[in-house]
Amino acid sequence: MGSYFGISTILVLCLLGYSANAEVFRVPGAPGSDITQALLKAFTSACQAPAPSQVLIPKGEYKLGEIAMTGPCKSPVEITLQGTVKADGNMQGKERWVVFEKINGFKLNGGGIFDGEGNAAWRTNNCHKTFECKKLPISLRFDFVDNADIRDITSMDSKNFHINVISGKNMTFDNIKISAPAESPNTDGIHLGRCDGVKILNSKIATGDDCISVGDGMKNLLVEKVVCGPGHGISVGSLGRYGFEEDVAGVRVVNCTLVGTDNGLRIKTWPSAKCTTTASGIHFEDIILQNVSNPILIDQEYCPWNQCNKQKPSTIKLVDISFRKIRGTSGNKDAVKLLCSKGIPCENVEIGDINIEYKGADGPPTFQCSNVNPKLVGTQVPKACSGGSAVMAPGSSS
């Protein structure tokens, strides 16, 4: 049974965008209390409702333990978080905090905050240094969620990734705020893989790892009007670490701003890759850089912690890649590095109208090329393939 309200409450719900006829399941609990079971009960009731319904978490600060809200549901479900939910500070060994899975027709909104309470966990996290590490929970997981609209929420201080999206279709993330200190390890903002038709819009991401990271199998991703920084930039990859990966096709990053990030726009694949896949149709356009290190980077020799064989070239094929209208300032002299695989050189890479300045004492900005013959459109500052040794793709001219 849903909770029923008086006329004044119904008026407030209408002003918030609810239908007066919709059934609303309000999560009970005093501020400071643990609402895990109450939320699970409310979601289960909403999921079984014959018509679209809402789950309402009112203003206030609440404790929330590990929870999985699982469909399929009989009708679309909307969860409105107006308050703040806080994770247990000690969740080492767990791989998830809040999970939404197997739901078709889903909304999450309300202006509330998911606080991962990551401070204590970061001190014990060495996953950025070694594969052999104890896992920490991802704050928000969306697994097999289709036709979803997630907007107006905040994720702060996640122990691991803030948001992980896997195997979803037709999803929109709008006005998402993500925050964690620059030194917080493995706190990717939004990581996506094996999804089709995802939009990330009008969002601000400040964290300790990639603001947005794109895994294998991703298709038709649009990232637009996102401010990133601090963090490690916006990355496609890493690709090729595992032996069962799928192709990436159709990634557009447009009208975004990167501020003080360790990397900018990056595509990274492993040498001695365990699979042979293709990443194609990856386009970055109209990007503003503010003191961004490695602003444009294709790195097909990505090998963290030296746990791979760089003598074996990457077997990930990169084709139809473009960087257009990229402008601003670099935090180091490596403004552009296109380090493609000597085994499978990059194909159809376009550099159009870039203007990246660097004022450091170690010299002017450089544009390095290896195993690639980029198509140049408009002006390039710095001059294309001007830094280091330019190793061109077979059959190309410098």
Q: Is 327 in contact with 355 (CB distance < 8 Å)?
A: yes
Q: What is the Cα–Cα distance from 198 to 121, expressed in whole angstroms?
A: 30
Q: How far is CA 103 from CA 146, 183, 287, 315, in A?
A: 6, 34, 34, 36
Is 249 strand, coil or helix? strand
Question: Which neighbouring-strand residues pair with 259?
Answer: 290
Question: Which neighbouring-strand residues pair with 68?
Answer: 99
Q: What is the Cα–Cα distance from 95 to 159, expressed in whole angstroms?
A: 10
Query: CA-based angle 170:152:164, to the nearest 5?
Result: 50
Question: Which neighbouring-strand residues pair with 109?
Answer: 80
Q: Is 54 in contact with 80 (CB distance < 8 Å)?
A: yes
Q: Is 155 in contact with 162 (CB distance < 8 Å)?
A: yes
**Which residues are the active-site residues?**
232
According to DSSP, residue 264 is labeled S
